[in-house]
Amino acid sequence: MKYLFAFDLDGTLLHRDNTVSENTARALAAARAAGHVLCVATGRPPRDVRSLLPPLLADIAFVCYNGALIEERGERLFSRTIARADALAVLARAQNAGVGQMFFEIDDVLHANFDLSVVWPDAKTEPEDLAALSFAGAHKIIACGAPPNVARLAEALPAGVTGTVTDGGTICQIAAAGVSKAQGVRFVAERCGIPLRNAVAFGDDANDIEMLSECGTGVAMGNAAPAVRAVADAVAASNEEDGVAAFLQRFLA
C-alpha cells in the first residue's frame, strides 16, 4: 500500500535550530525507497523550504503559505493569493485592533512594516509602507502582536480571507479564503492518485488541525498544542526527539 506522508516544518520536522536531523533524514529516505510519497505542508515560503530541507527532499512537493502555493521541482502547481483590496482591508483592521507589526509575502519576497530583526536577529530590514506597495495579490499576510489584539484582529477579518492564530496567540497567519494545509495536501494526494485515507499528516500548531483531521492518520507531535493533540489519531515524540523519524520507523515496520 502506498502512503502520502505530509510534514509541517517548524515544531515538527525541524529541530529548534532549523535543522533536519540525520536520523530523520534516514527515516524519510527509507520511506521514499519503499515507494511512498512525501510532501511538506508549511506556513513558510518556498525560499525557506528550499534552504531548510536536505538535498534528498529537494524534489518533493512543497505546500507553502499554509496551502496558498504548491510547488514541485520549481514548477508552480497551484496558487491562490489575497487580493490587494483585501490585503489593504486587513492592514486597516489590524491597526484598529492594535496590531502594528505586519508583513506581506508577495511573489516569494517578504515586505514588512517593521525591522524584522525584532523577530529574527539576523534579518535587519528597512520598514516599508505596505499600503503603498504595488501588487495584484499576496500569498500570505502575517500580523504579530499581543494575544488579545491578535485575537481581536482574527475576529474582524474581511470575508475574502481566512486567519489562523498560532504561536501562543501572538501571530495571525492570513491567507485567501478557502486556503488551508488540508486543501494543499488533498491536492497533492489527488495528483499522486493516493486516497486521503492513506495520507499521514504530522503537525504541532493550530494551522495543522484541519490537515490532521482530514488525513487518514493525523499525528500530533509531543510538543503540539493541546488543540492539535485533541484531533490527532496518534501522538509522536517531540520534534527535538526526532518524533517524525520514530513514528515512521514504527509505522512502516
For 159-199, write each residue's pLDDT tens digit: 999 999 999 999 999 999 999 999 999 999 999 999 999 99
How many whole angstroms separate alpha carbon 159 and alpha carbon 170?
Answer: 22
What are the distances in angstroms from CA 186 to CA 39, 57, 154, 236? 11, 20, 25, 22
How many whole angstroms separate alpha carbon 104 and alpha carbon 251?
Answer: 39
Q: What is the pLDDT of residue 126?
A: 84
Residues in the chain: 253
Domains of the chain and any CATH numbers: 4-79+179-251 (3.40.50.1000), 82-176 (3.30.1240.10)
Main-chain dihedrals φ then ψ at residue 154, nearest 5 degrees: -60, -30
Where in 30-170 does DSSP place strands (E)?
A: 37-41, 61-64, 69-72, 75-79, 82-83, 101-106, 109-112, 137-138, 140-144, 161-166
Main-chain dihedrals φ then ψ at residue 176, nearest 5 degrees: -65, 150
How many whole angstroms separate alpha carbon 25 and alpha carbon 44?
Answer: 20
Rounded CA Rg of the chain: 18
Q: What is the pLDDT of residue 118?
A: 74
With cell 499522486, the residue in question is 192
Q: Are 219 and 238 in contact, with CB atoms under 8 Å apart?
A: no
Q: Which parts of the chain have pLDDT scores under 50?
A: none
